[in-house]
Amino acid sequence: MEILTQSWNKLVRDKVPDFIRSHGGIAETRVVEDNEEFDKLLREKDCEKGHGIKEAKDRDSLIEVIVDRYAVLDAIKSLHGITEEEVRAKRTMKNFEKGEYDKRVFLARTEGQKDG
């Protein structure tokens, strides 16, 4: 039997190493102690999940990726001490000022005078 070794070098959910080990694999891990590094890795994970949303082929896989993205965003909020109330308030204000995506507006181009 051939042994497959893969380098991942990315942030994973807490129980992923246990899952790998329970299936006979070896998971080399470390705890990210530095907040700046953790923040950087969370932001990379958010980009990864954003790409996953773009690539989702069906409703179930889309739900999976959305759930993962929510988990990443919750970790980012926790790291920065951002409350759900702050997010809701900012969302309400932004929706009032700029609208949402209900009307499906696609901006093709603009034309106007340059400032300065």
pLDDT for the residue 3: 86
Residue 79 located in a structural domain: yes
Q: What's this model's pTM, rounded to 2 decimal places?
A: 0.86
Task: Indicate whether 86 belongs to any domain.
Answer: yes
* pLDDT of the residue at 115: 81
In the block, residue with structure tokens 């204000």:
93
In a domain, 44, yes or no: yes
In a domain, 91, yes or no: yes
Comparing CA positions, the residue from 83, 81, 79, 82 lying closest to residue 34 is 79
Angstrom CA distances, 53 to 23, 68, 72, stand at 28, 10, 14
User: Has residue 109 been placed in a domain?
Assistant: no
Q: pLDDT of the chain along its 116 residues, tens only? A: 788 999 999 999 999 999 999 999 999 999 999 999 999 999 999 999 999 999 999 999 999 999 999 999 999 999 999 999 999 999 999 999 999 999 999 999 999 988 86
What's CA 111's distance to the chain center, in Å? 34
Q: Report how many domains make up the chain.
A: 1
What is residue 50's predicted lDDT score, i.e. its pLDDT?
95
- Domain around 52: 33-98
Taking the C-alpha atoms of residue 19 and residue 79, their distance in angstroms, rounded to an integer, is 25
Helical H runs in 1-116? 16-22, 35-55, 59-80, 84-98
Q: Is residue 87 part of a domain?
A: yes
- Evaluate whether residue 24 is within a structural domain: no
